[in-house]
């Protein structure tokens, strides 16, 4: 295996680790938003509840968007691992 291939493999491994590290805070944000949503109580006015639900919806949408982006990056990384084994 050439040095350039070793460097490329190491970079791919680093990227895979970074993807994993980025998913962890997204999971925390998603779970926290879900917990907040479930705890919104009757003490809020209808207007306040609607506002908070809309903000929590926005958080969920953005977490999903970031998760899809990370999924696409992981797919490309995996394709590179499979195709890069001898394709340089």
Residue 85 is predicted with a pLDDT of: 52
* pLDDT exceeds 80 at position 24: yes
- The predicted model scores a pTM of 0.76
pLDDT at 86 over 80: no
pLDDT band at residue 71 under the 50/70/90 scheme: very high
pLDDT at 32 over 80: yes
Residue 77 clears pLDDT 90, i.e. is over it: no
Which is nearest to 27 in space by CA: 72, 71, 60, 69? 60
Quickly list H helices, 40-87: 46-87
Query: Which residues, other chains included, contact 60 with Cβ-Cβ below 8 Å and sequence gap of 6+?
Result: 30, 33
Distance CA 13, CA 5 (A): 12
- The domain limits of the chain are 3-82
CATH 3.30.70 at 3-82, yes or no: no
Q: What's the mean pLDDT in 60-80? A: 93
Provide, rounded to the nearest whole percent, the portion of the chain with pLDDT above 70.
93
Quote the pLDDT of residue 29.
97
Contact (CB, 8 A) for 56 and 33: yes
Other Cβ atoms less than 10 A from the Cβ of 2: the count is 8
């Amino acid at each position: 295996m050439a040095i350039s291939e070793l460097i490329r493999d190491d970079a791919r491994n680093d990227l895979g680790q970074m993807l994993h590290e980025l998913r962890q805070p997204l999971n925390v944000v998603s779970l926290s938003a879900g917990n907040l949503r479930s705890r919104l109580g009757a003490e809020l006015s209808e207007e306040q509840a609607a506002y908070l639900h809309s903000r929590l919806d926005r958080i969920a949408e953005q977490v999903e968007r970031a998760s899809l982006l990370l999924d696409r990056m992981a797919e490309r990384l995996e394709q590179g691992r499979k195709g890069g084994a001898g394709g340089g």
